[in-house]
Amino acid sequence: MSALPVVFADIEAAANRIEGHAHRTPVLTSSTIDRQTGGSVFFKCENFQRAGAFKFRGAFNALSKLGESERRRGVLTFSSGNHAQAIALSGRLLSVPTVVVMPQDAPEVKVRATREYGAEVVLYDKHETTREALGKKISDERGLVTIPPYDHGDVIAGQGTAALELFEKTGPLDYFFVCVGGGGLLSGCAAAASTRSPNCRVIGVEPEAGDDAARSFKTKTLQTVMNPETIADGARTPSLGKLTFPMVLALVHDMMTVSDKELATTMFYLWERMKIVVEPTGALAAAAALSGRVDLRGKRVGVLISGGNVDMAAIPRLLAIANK
């Protein structure tokens, strides 16, 4: 376990670093959902995190560890939205200039918030180039430090603090469902679970259209996907990373996928029953937990709600998908 790029001690150090800056988000329960599943389900609600998603944890931890010369030069990242906002807000709080590369079709609510937090936003056409290629070009030209959205040790450690807080609140769990795009959150949460609740089965969840992580997990060979068409915009990453892939293989117990219809239905169900605003990507783990494909009767279950940055203009389309 010590050979992994991020270990439990890194997560504990990150928790100390972000203390007083990141919100200690609530853990919510629902008697209706407990009756439906037959288990005791605990929702770690990162939709109440600063900038509206778990991403603030990793971004603030990573920027906090920069040296003075690196802070003066500034940082660059690429993101469809939540990591973008997190880097922008962390940069503002720590007086670090930030540049964010975002796809032209990123939710407007996320683009607007990223700019309002003070970042320079560079939009690109995802059909003509990749965010990694454009990001490298800009960072090389300007001498910026690149902090990617998931494949970075300090980012992974920061994301793992969400699970650390959950286990502090609930004690050991039998299952823990976590959404996965590039695997930063899943890797960090699995590392925390391996120490805090070693008998807990950690299950990663991604959209059917972007099932690269599930295929990678099952084949033990890194798989990719290009620009998957899914409402889970935060999980449109091309693949797991060089750091996250080995962590997922070592620490995660299973992977699941859910359809866009399941995702939209679950999102609105959480809105209606739990009165919490969750974005499509944020509902991935809940959609798997509520799918009935895992027997949760008599089990203690953690579910990571990853974000709540909903593009209100997209609601009619999301309702149409839910009602198909």
Q: Which residue has the tokens 């800009």?
A: 138
Instruction: Give the closest residue to 6 by CA, choosing from 158, 199, 222, 206.
Output: 158
Closest CA to 241 of 76, 59, 6: 6
What's the N-to-C CA distance of the chain in angstroms? 45
- The single residue of 30, 44, 55, 216 carrying the catalytic annotation is 55
DSSP state, residue 220: S
Structure tokens at 16: 């100390």
**Catalytic residue of the set 80, 187, 194, 239:** 80
β pairing state of 98-103 and 201-207: unpaired
> Which of 235, 147, 227, 221 lies closest to 183 in space, CA to CA?
235
187 is catalytic: no
Annotation marks residue 80 as catalytic: yes
Q: How far is CA 110 from the centre of its chain?
A: 15
Question: Hey, what are 52's tokens?
Answer: 């509206």
Enumerate the active-site residues.
55, 80
